[in-house]
Structure 1
Amino acid sequence: MRTSALTGDFLLGLVPIALVIALWQGLVSFGVAPAVLLPPPGLVFARLLQQLTTSTFHREIAATLIRLFGGFSIAVVLGVSIGIAAAANPAFNAVVRPIVRVLAPLPKVALYPALLLLVGFGHESKILLVTADALFPILLSTYYGASTVEQKLIWSAMAAGTPRREILFKVILPAAMPSILTGCRIGLVISCIVVFLAEMITSTDGLGHMLVTAARTFQAVDMFVPLITISLLGLILNGLLQAVRSYLLRGFPEA
């Protein structure tokens, strides 16, 4: 029953994608957009399949994934740690809260020139930018999830003889896990956007660099290939994270 529901959801999710591709093809076929600027989807996907057979394209994808996973992993560790600490310690919360309120609305891409000057044009600046952008949704979701854990769960654990140092891992983290994973999904989407943007601004490799290079040489088909690729990577990574979420929350009714 569960498998058929997932299959139905998957097929239903393909409908809007098919409509977008059909609209794309219609714009080209009816001459609304010139093929020189908006190539037909069949040509773009054919070029993508051709690129997937080359080692150069694999290296570009690997460069983007290294930066994405590096920044996202750091954001998860920092966001969960700070969020749990802020929820558990009022004094720490009083210090962190104004900092978060000031920095969370700030467009982190504005910090990118400073990061370039501090750590250079390599992987480090892009990883730090991804971390800065993905950190806050994970931190805020963790704080919300941990601070809304029912006190009676903690009291019950303590009454059952659970040591105080183990309550974090046996009570608070499991209860806050749905909120934490929601923040991680948001952070992952942001990471995909930010790493691509950073590579477009300044990079010598990666999918964003591929797009800028193709645009500068007026190669429209090659310009759409990295766009489709980063979208597919985001779709795959989101699906993997959803599978992890379903596994970790298999005891929760909503999972």
Structure 2
Amino acid sequence: MNQERINSVLLGITPIVLFIALWQSLISFGFAPTSLLPPPGAVFGKLAKDFFNGDFLHDIAATLIRLFAGFGIAVVVGVFIGLAAAVSPAVNAVVKPLVRVLAPIPKIALYPALLLILGFDHASKITLVTADALFPILLSTYYGASMVEQKLIWSAMAAGTPRWQILFKVVLPAAMPSILTGCRIGLVISCIVVFLAEMITSTDGLGHMLVQAARTFQTVDMFVPLIMISMLGLILNSLLHWLRSYLLRGFPEV
């Protein structure tokens, strides 16, 4: 690992360390009682202990299943519709007004209706995650594909490339930086939404775990799922960043 990478890692860790230090300072100097704000050592100790608990691993698995399923569907649908709207004026004429109307709506407001239609199991939560993550990915794909230089398309057409191949060999690769940026935004939104949906109604998952702990005033157990979803988001975002760097290693901005 070169010095530049080491400095980058240290710079990324520093805010986390400062946050934990501030957390501990609030307790040590008496600004917050431990009954309301448990010390970080107790929370991380409980988190490490829970990793040997089958119920805790089941909750993590339930959250990840909903997260990956909803995010995966959003990526497929968002990229497909975004590309179609960018290359087809007819599709664009249909999609643009729908996006303008639906994108500003807080999707969590639709959750009660989703519960009535799809039930209380995975389907309603996956659908909510998909609905929330879809629009950043769709819009990023659309604008990325729309900004592809026309001369690249003309060059491909002059070389005899079929029109459908131009979409996958020219437009899609050129739009990839924008698409992956939208995916990173959608991933963060997915982590938030799946946790919130599990808090509202669920029988398992990290959000359900937090609500159950809050009902019995187990403050340490309340913070464990919060730290866990933060760690999952950090890990998944780092993996997506690595994937972006790998896929775009020929681009000058990476």
Q: Fold-level match, TM-score > 0.5?
A: yes
Give the gaps of 5 or more residues in structure 2.
none
Q: Counterpart in 1 of 2:163?
A: 164
Q: Secondary structure at the match of 2:104?
A: coil
Find the counterpart in structure 1 of residue 249 from structure 2: 250
Secondary structure at 1:35's aligned position in 2? coil
Q: Which residue of 2 aligns with 1:226?
A: 225
Aligned equivalent of 1:105: 104
1:143-187: CA deviations, max 9, x gaps? Answer: 000001000000111112222221011100000000000000000
Distance (whole Å) between structure 2 residues aligned to residue 161 and residue 195 of structure 1: 46
Q: SS of 1:32's equivalent?
A: coil
Counterpart residue type for residue 39 of structure 2: P
Q: State the 1:206 CA deviation.
A: 0.1
- Give structure 1 stretches of 5+ with no counterpart: none
Take 2:7 and 2:72, find their aligned partners in 1: how far apart are those partners? 32
Partner of 1:7: 6
| Structure 2 SS opposite 1:106 | coil
Partner residue in 2 for 1:136:
135
Q: What is the alpha-carbon distance in structure 2 between the residues aligned to residue 58 and residue 183 of structure 1? A: 30
Partners in 2 of 1:41 and 1:148 — Cα distance? Answer: 47
1:25 partner amino acid: Q
Paired AA for residue 202 in structure 2: S
Name the CA distance, whole Å, in 1 between partners of 2:119 and 2:159. Answer: 53
**Alignment-mate amino acid for residue 243 of structure 1:** W
Q: TM-score, normalised by structure 1?
A: 0.98
Alignment match, 1:27: 26
Q: CA deviation at 1:3?
A: 4.1
Aligned pairs for 1:1-255 (under 5 A) are: 3-255=2-254
Deviations 1:32-88 (A, max 9, x none): 111000000001000000001111111000000000000000000010000000000
2:34 is matched by which residue type in structure 1? A
| Post-superposition offset of 1:5 | 2.2
Could you tell me how far apart the structure 1 residues matched to 2:110 and 2:117 are? 11
State TM-score, norm by structure 2. Answer: 0.99
CA RMSD after TM alignment:
0.8
- In 2: Cα distance, 1:155 partner to 1:42 partner: 61
Q: Distance in 2 between matches of 1:52 and 1:32?
A: 31
The one-letter code sitting in structure 1 at the alignment partner of 2:194 is: V
Residues 97-126 of structure 1, C-alpha deviation per residue, up to 9 Å, x if partnerless? 111001101100000000000000000000
2 CA distance for matches of 1:7 and 1:152?
41
Q: Secondary structure at the match of 2:145?
A: helix
Distance 1:3 1:179 in 2: 28
**In structure 1, C-alpha distance between the alignment counterparts of 2:208 and 2:2, rounded to whole Å:** 40
Instruction: Report how far residue 6 of structure 1 moved.
Output: 2.5
